[in-house]
Structure 1
Amino acid sequence: MRKTKLKKLSKRILTGLLAAGMAVSAYSTPVKAAITCEHDVRNLTDIYDINYEESLEEVANPYRGFYKSEQINYKRGTGNEVRNPKNNFVHLRLDLSDFSANPVKGYDSDCYITDETTDMLKALRGTLDNCRKNHATVVVRFAYDYKYGGYTEDTTDSKGKFHKRSVWEPQSIDTVLQHQDAVGAVLRDYEDIIASVECGVFGKWGEMHGSQILTDKNLKKVMDKWLEVIPENISVTVRTPELYCRYTGADIQELDSEDYKTKPGDKTYRVGIFNDGYLGSKSDRGTYKNRETEISWIEDQSTHTLYGGEIVLFEGKGTPLNNAEYMEKEAFRTHTSYLNIGWNDHVIDDLRESTFQGKDPKYSGKTSSFTYVQNHLGYRYVVDGVKLTKETTNYENFAAEVSIKNVGFANVVKDMKTTVIIEGEGGKYEYPVSKLSKDKKESAENADPRNWLAGKTSVLKVNLDLPEKMKEGSYKVYLRVAYDENKKGIEGYPVKFANDDSSIWNETLGANYLGKFKVVSESTIEKEGAKVENKTSSKSPSYKIDKSSSFYTFSDKKDGCHISYTKSKTENWKNIAVNFSDVDTSKYKKVVIKVVPSRKGMNLGITNQDENKPVFYKDHWDKNNQFTSTKEQTITINLDSKNKNGIYIYCDATKNDTPSGEQTFVIKSITFKK
């Protein structure tokens, strides 16, 4: 390489790019005022302590996913059964037909549900207790259909098999309302495990058709009762948008208008749709009268209500909809959170046996359709960036910004709580964001997971006061998202993030690892109103890499900064400025750069930043000014007045670099040695 070429180099204004795994000065030293006030916050630093890529593995989380159904028939008297569901997500299908008048059984009248008439309320509590012990969450539906048979009269099917009538609805709607009061008193004690209550009650399977008592008047009474007895944090859903309109008085032809968008505080804000004809025809087996109009309404309503159901066989002409590729288009609009793993089994088998061929490059051609659907049901959080206070004192505040992408079809609709946990050499400290202190300048922004919308990236920002007793040392930062902020570990329904990193989930804490920082001595700062010796000792040298060059492509990865380039016909190389800050050459004598070359024979030039009188540093070259290996190389440069402000790194293309052949080298770390 000729020195004259350096005159062609253009300086670049640097931007903050930090390589993972860097030592003493792999972060930018914050610019601090001469005086440090209590609760001040230092500059934040991009860190790479975890992998920011999404995993392809299923992550079991509350209130979402493929469910298994648990059908229970309750009866008058004693001996009602307690079940022990162990699936992560459970659909409780609860039959109350034995409490209706039934001449076949000799019941002349309906029966109220009380502790005197039945032990079913106790049995229901037992089942819900077991769900909680097993960390399961549930969707609940009550029906008056024995074994959920779906027969409104005695029937012989096409195969000659006889089926007794299974649907026995109460004679009086008042009986239904009393039953709702009775079971509602139980459900209120299990708000943490219930994702949604499907209205049910009417007709076959509780799917609100084939009923003798479903009138607009009775629908209004039943829905009003559910909204009365079910906690506000739980969705109540009806079978179709048409039923929603019959209940609310909305015009189904105009349902997508702004007039029918609900707001927090509205009575119908938490009323949604369950869809047991999911993708089974152009109308989803009668779910929709006008698919586009009604889905446009659902698109907004299902951001705060739980939407899901059963994916079924496709009927009718045209291209089938019941596949992962169509779901990739529509499920992000309907915000689909749950589906039945057991029905329709043929559709589920097809999903398992087919390769996903959608537009998502993470999954397309790489996983089954089932994996794509399974991973996207409901919410799915991936941390794709973290900034935090890399070093501070316990006199100052700690701050962090966490970029969280929701790659799932939906957002969580339950009122989940966020807590920051700091754990290290000096103990464990928990910061529920709902309890932060303004007096200590603590704050949180965008901390409600209900606002981390599907397909969007949200940035959670926190500012936390560090206790005076917090010892110096290294600390890890975790984020806990859970329904109950007072519970610990895996209790309280915590949420796991879906990053492709085995270190991210801490089961003991029930929280997700974000990165680490250091608490240093207060002797390194000058407090407001007091002088502290050795103030300058806090200034450690640091560096930043300028990535503004269009000649190079920069990619931040866990193992360092990956830099790619392609040979050009007009100009084969340009410099990359690496700027140094706070380098005291009386203390720091050397800078050590660890790189991985793209190939043997690669030229990697390094000079100071004086374009008129450049100084070449060549101790990493062989006699031909080239690397001889593609293994990690260590470059050591003596620091002096000519390079203490930074260096230039550049690549010189050779005959081995073809115009079409992209080269990539990695800067793994840059450290300063005393």
Structure 2
Amino acid sequence: MKKKLPIILHSLFFIFCFTLAALILHHLISSRYLKIEYTPSSSEESSQDLDNPYRGFYQMGGYILSDKEKPKTAANWCKKNCTSNPYPLMLLEINLKNYSDSDISTNALTQLDKMLTVCTQAKKQVILRFLYDWDGKALSAEPSSLPQIKKHISRLSTVVNKHSDCVYILQGTFTGNNGEMNNSNYGDLNQIRQIIEELDNDISREIYLAVRTPAQLRGILRTSTPLSSSEAYSGTLASRLSLFNDGMLGSVYDLGTYGSTPLKSSSKPEEQGTRSDELLFQYKLCQYVPNGGEVTVDNEYNDLDNAISDLSQMHVSYLNSEHDEAVLNKWKNSTYTGSDTDVFSGCSGYDYISAHLGYRYVVQQSSIDFHSVLDDTATLYLTIANTGFSSAYTKYTTDMILTSKDTGKSKKVETAIDNRSIAGNDFSEFKLSLDVRSLKKGTYTVSLRMKDPYTKNYIHFANKGYEKSKTVPVGTLTLQ
């Protein structure tokens, strides 16, 4: 009997320890247990055009710098143009003909500074083009030497760089009729390359540069390979050199933009390819740099279906709102016919194109992954579609906003979303970490808020009902 007692005591002790451990484990599990219910928001797309920066139609304005004018006169002229411009984009042409063979004066630089200050105050995004001629007389109006153009670039850069947040793109090489790099004394590839390299050295890395044709771009960079995602947005010349096409959809050659000989592996980079060759090149390149200009000459290539196809393939983000009037009117009098589920079906061709120039974000899908006991954070999987023709080429700040339905209070969660990665006519998936254990139990709405650092404008999404909202709903989260 005495021998059995220790065995019984050991058994009781084991049972006690096991029970205690079970109770502790149960307590730990109970204390960590968190049940989550999540319902994604509607992903229906609206057919409204969106008021977002760096995209859409632009309005032109031209000013001649002169020592006969006062800076206040330039500022007033620019203020009037900004006020009458209903678009966020403005193409500002600055004529330098009065300084063709002399240094640009301090007074002229002050005029430019005052104009760009006005544009900044009006939250305009400026496409800037310097030129010596807009009368078709570039050969006689341009400086007599290439070093003079370089001196002008160096002098002007001191003002332009002060406004690098406002100046979006600097188009051209200062040369050619209307600054379009044609009929110029400086149309040789080596001369074009020298001017672009001077611009690259002097103009802020935050400003895109642009040349007239894909062949010129390839020749300047000495490569036939389009910009890759690994080099995009890195600040190199290749990563900031974009295109502008003022003969867009004007003919099979886009009025001299393309050639008639197919590109081959043995072709020189500066040689022009056929339309199909160059459309494919732009499709790859302009995922990472802007492309825009003006449509011209009513012809089959700008008939609505053809225009939509090519504008999409070229990733066009900006177009002249006034030229060519015949083409724009043709679009206004055409009807877009999509599928039965296409929200744009039945709208005018002009409205369809206007809505799709540049980027157009739609929150498409979302879901949450969370293990009620094991996980410290929940993972929100989010799909954002871009139904526009192109990417956005400016990085915006994107925050997730959690708003309690009980208290109305909101919590901001910064995200690492890079909106530039959402290509036109494509979508991107993002994985966001959410510290749900720091939240009080209850129901929360989950929203996204995207903002442009320069204009301070909120980026509007195309989700139906939220086209003008500061935020777009993602889903509803309940913690129990």
Give me the TM-score of the superposition, normalised by structure 1: 0.58
Aligned to 1:79: 70
**Structure 1 segment 430-441 matched on structure 2, within 5 A:** 430-433=412-415
Asked if the contact 1:391/1:517 (under 8 Å) is kept, the reply is no
The verdict on how the C-alpha distance between 1:365 and 1:481 changes in structure 2, with shifts beyond 3 A counting, is closer
Asked if the contact 1:381/1:497 (under 8 Å) is kept, the reply is yes
SS in 1 for 2:118: helix
RMSD: 3.1
4+ runs of 1 displaced by more than 4 Å?
40-44, 259-263, 358-361, 388-393, 470-474
SS in 1 for 2:181: coil
Question: In the alignment, does 2:474 pair up with 1:514?
Answer: yes
Asked if the contact 2:449/2:471 (under 8 Å) is kept, the reply is yes
Higher strand share: 1
The alpha-carbon deviation at position 398 of structure 1 amounts to 5.3
Aligned to 2:448: 479
The alpha-carbon deviation at position 348 of structure 1 amounts to 0.8
Question: In the alignment, does 2:351 pair up with 1:376?
Answer: no
The alpha-carbon deviation at position 246 of structure 1 amounts to 3.4
Q: In the aligned structure 1, how far is the partner of 2:393 from the partner of 2:350? A: 24
Partner residue of 1:334 out of 302, 307, 314: 314
Q: In the aligned structure 1, how far is the partner of 2:34 from the partner of 2:295? A: 51
Aligned to 1:230: 203
The alpha-carbon deviation at position 137 of structure 1 amounts to 1.6
SS in 1 for 2:196: helix
Partner residue of 2:123 out of 96, 118, 135: 135
Aligned to 1:47: 40
Amino acid at match of 1:238: V
Q: In the aligned structure 2, how far is the partner of 1:224 from the partner of 1:240? A: 17
The verdict on how the C-alpha distance between 1:388 and 1:189 changes in structure 2, with shifts beyond 3 A counting, is farther
Question: In the alignment, does 2:241 pair up with 1:271?
Answer: yes
Asked if the contact 1:77/1:119 (under 8 Å) is kept, the reply is no
Q: In the aligned structure 1, how far is the partner of 2:162 from the partner of 2:35? A: 45
Partner residue of 1:494 out of 458, 468, 475: 458
Amino acid at match of 1:450: R
Higher helix share: 2
Bigger radius of gyration among the two? 1
Q: In the aligned structure 1, how far is the partner of 2:418 from the partner of 2:333? A: 38
SS in 1 for 2:445: strand
Amino acid at match of 2:448: L
Aligned to 1:407: 387
Asked if the contact 1:46/1:385 (under 8 Å) is kept, the reply is no
Aligned to 2:153: 180
Q: In the aligned structure 2, how far is the partner of 1:261 from the partner of 1:482? A: 27
Residue identity (%): 25
**Structure 1 segment 56-67 matched on structure 2, within 5 A:** 56-67=47-58
Question: In the alignment, does 2:29 pair up with 1:34?
Answer: yes
Q: In the aligned structure 2, how far is the partner of 1:144 from the partner of 1:467? A: 64
The verdict on how the C-alpha distance between 1:429 and 1:365 changes in structure 2, with shifts beyond 3 A counting, is closer
The alpha-carbon deviation at position 221 of structure 1 amounts to 1.7
Asked if the contact 2:39/2:477 (under 8 Å) is kept, the reply is no
Q: In the aligned structure 1, how far is the partner of 2:58 from the partner of 2:43? A: 29
The verdict on how the C-alpha distance between 1:426 and 1:467 changes in structure 2, with shifts beyond 3 A counting, is farther
**Structure 1 segment 578-657 matched on structure 2, within 5 A:** none
Amino acid at match of 2:130: F
SS in 2 for 1:477: strand
After superposition, what is the alpha-carbon deviation per residue over 1:437-488, rounded to whole angstroms, capped at 9, x for unaligned? xxxxxxx5xx1111111111212221134695x666544333222332xx8x
Aligned to 1:348: 328
Runs of 5+ consecutive residues of structure 1 not aligned to the other structure: 1-32, 101-109, 154-166, 434-443, 521-537, 539-674
Aligned to 1:528: none
Asked if the contact 2:38/2:476 (under 8 Å) is kept, the reply is no
Question: In the alignment, does 2:109 pair up with 1:121?
Answer: yes
The verdict on how the C-alpha distance between 1:144 and 1:493 changes in structure 2, with shifts beyond 3 A counting, is farther
Number of residue equivalences = 423
The alpha-carbon deviation at position 390 of structure 1 amounts to 10
After superposition, what is the alpha-carbon deviation per residue over 1:278-328, rounded to whole angstroms, capped at 9, x for unaligned? 00000001111111222221111111110010010146xxxx111321123
Partner residue of 2:289 out of 305, 324, 329: 305
